[in-house]
Amino acid sequence: MWTLRALRIASVLTPITPAPIGYLLCRIAALIFFLVNGWNRRQVIDNLRHVEPQMGRLGYRLAAFKVFETVFANYYDLLRFRTVDRDHFSELMEVQGRENLDPALQCGKGAIILTAHLGNYSVVGQYPATIGIRSAIIAERVQPPGLFNYMMRLRSATGIDVLPPGREAIPPILRLLRSNGMLMVAGDRDISGQGVTVDFFGEPATLPAGPVLLAMRTGAALIPAYTIRTSTRHSIGIIEPPLQLVRSHDREADLRQNVQLVAHALERMIRADPTQWAVLQRVWGVPPTRVQQRGEGLGSVPSGIPDRHEPVGAIHDEDRQSESAATTR
């Protein structure tokens, strides 16, 4: 509940507070949270040890603080960008790799933008609107409901469609892709409990299968993209070429190989600057059902996406079984 109250207070102060002061306050809040929240601090350091095994004790603590700073800056940006003119988007972000996006959209099947909770991902949702492309994200379910509803309003205010989590998101996702739109999904946290275990920075970790399944079943391009902050008020957005997914007669083997491709793409993103990987929960060695959801995070693709030749309402038997098992857990 304190998160919701803090966000409401910050939303009132943000329009009247100069950005440099706002970011300074984020830094102070991040330092306090880093010092008092030992549990999240240990989770972040554990993640950093997998990404950068030779950093040293002091290096891990300094890097972990920067992760906290990124998290608070992203909350602030989510509030601040409601008051930023979209025409000034180029001042906030320099986009590299546009040439990788256009050919994928020329196929007319839409694009799935695979990203990580890296850098200033809060601003990414504004980019498609600046080039005339409809886009959407899936909300991440959080408690209490008041916080969830508030985060939904914040995200939709930036000009992006915010889809509800769960099965009800399937029809609008399919309509979006069929209209050649863009769906943005994060692939670095399996919050569904139905992911695939692959090699991630040299050790097994469970990553969500949803983005890969959606691309395999709809024919939409799966395009890795991410942002890196170069300063508090400027970021670089990088769009990579679409992943070349494996498609054979062995669906399970294809799924595992393709999720492994996603893992390699995520490794490239995170290595760009591990201190901007804004994930406060342990990624390795934790059952997916224990992954906590956060209000500012991106949601996952729901199970039950029908194949290209199936009606929207068709659901595979294995999807029903997976969902039933997850509910039982």
Predicted local distance difference test score (pLDDT) of residue 45: 97
Predicted local distance difference test score (pLDDT) of residue 324: 38
Q: What are phi and psi of 50, to 5 degrees?
A: -75, -35
Predicted local distance difference test score (pLDDT) of residue 51: 97
Can you give the three-state secondary structure of the chain, one letter per residue?
CHHHHHHHHHHHHHHHCCHHHHHHHHHHHHHHHHHHCHHHHHHHHHHHHHHCCCCCHHHHHHHHHHHHHHHHHHHHHHHHHHHCCHHHHHHHEEEECHHHHHHHHHCCCCEEEEECCECCHHHHHHHHHHCCCCEEEEECCCCCHHHHHHHHHHHHCCCCEEECCCHHHHHHHHHHHHCCCEEEEECCCCCCCCCEEEEECCEEEEECCHHHHHHHHHCCEEEEEEEEEEECCEEEEEECCCCCCCCCCCHHHHHHHHHHHHHHHHHHHHHCCHHHECCCCCCCCCCHHHCCCCCCCECCCCCCCCCCCCCCCCCCHHHHHHHHHHHHC
Tokens 């901007």 correspond to: 276
Q: Structure pTM?
A: 0.85
Whether pLDDT at 250 is above 70: yes
Structural domains of the chain sorted by starting position, each given as residue range(s) with its CATH number in brackets: 87-307+319-328 (3.40.1130)
CB atoms within 10 A of CB 50: 18
Q: What is the mean pLDDT of residues 52-77?
A: 94
Pairing mode of beta strands 203-207, 196-200: antiparallel
- Strand-pairing partners, residue 114, are 185, 224
In tens, the pLDDT along 139-157 reads: 777 777 777 777 777 777 6
Task: Give me the percent of the chain exceeding a pLDDT of 90.
Answer: 53
Mean pLDDT of the chain: 84
In tens, the pLDDT along 217-238 reads: 999 999 999 999 998 888 999 9
